[in-house]
């Protein structure tokens, strides 16, 4: 089915007290890219509800407090794959030791904690832009070639 409007998704930057964030190696959709956890919103969900659900479904991690830290308009993915999405990026701080579980092995080959300033490559556009916005304290940054 041909896409007629942008899809809306959420991405979750999960950070630990040592500053590392969680990323996973995607397969199937968005392969072979690394990305923060996330996915598409369902009808009637708030950004926070979608993020809590996606994080639990993918990693088993449970968070209760999230904040929206960024918005990405993923035009590179549109140009490369013909899929236009807008991603709401949320942040959750873990204040306890927890390791993610691989709960959707058909979508992700594994999770690891990384320095957000040294993201593994290749990295998914929405995740890369979302982490950059989080690090810079910018909510949104237009593409460089845009007016």
Q: What is the CATH number of the domain that holds 100?
A: 3.90.79.10
**How many of the other CB atoms lie within 10 Å of CB of 126?**
27
Q: Tens-digit pLDDT profile for the chain (147 aa)?
A: 678 999 999 999 999 999 999 999 999 877 799 999 999 999 999 999 999 999 999 999 999 899 999 999 998 888 888 889 999 999 999 987 789 999 999 999 999 999 999 999 999 999 999 999 999 999 998 876 554
Q: What is the pTM of this model?
A: 0.93
Domain count for the chain: 1
The answer to whether position 147 is within a domain reads no
Strand 21-26 relative to strand 108-114, pairing: antiparallel
The answer to whether position 96 is within a domain reads yes
What is the biggest distance separating any 2 CA atoms in the chain, rounded to whole angstroms? Answer: 44
Distance CA 130, CA 91 (A): 10
Distance CA 113, CA 97 (A): 12
The answer to whether position 129 is within a domain reads yes
């Amino acid at each position: 089915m041909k896409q007629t409007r942008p899809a809306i998704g959420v991405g979750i930057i999960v950070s630990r007290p040592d500053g590392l964030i969680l990323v996973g190696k995607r397969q199937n959709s968005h392969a072979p890219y690394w990305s923060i956890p996330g996915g598409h919103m369902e009808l009637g969900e708030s950004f926070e509800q979608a993020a809590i659900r996606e994080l639990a479904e993918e990693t088993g991690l449970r968070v209760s407090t999230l904040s929206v830290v960024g918005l990405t308009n993923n035009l590179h993915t549109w140009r490369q794959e013909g899929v236009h999405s807008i991603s709401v990026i949320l942040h959750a701080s873990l204040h306890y030791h927890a390791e993610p579980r691989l709960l959707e092995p058909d979508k992700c080959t594994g999770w690891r904690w990384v320095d957000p300033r040294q993201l593994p490559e290749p990295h998914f556009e929405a995740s890369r832009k979302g982490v950059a916005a989080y690090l810079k304290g910018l909510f949104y940054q237009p593409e460089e070639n845009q007016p």
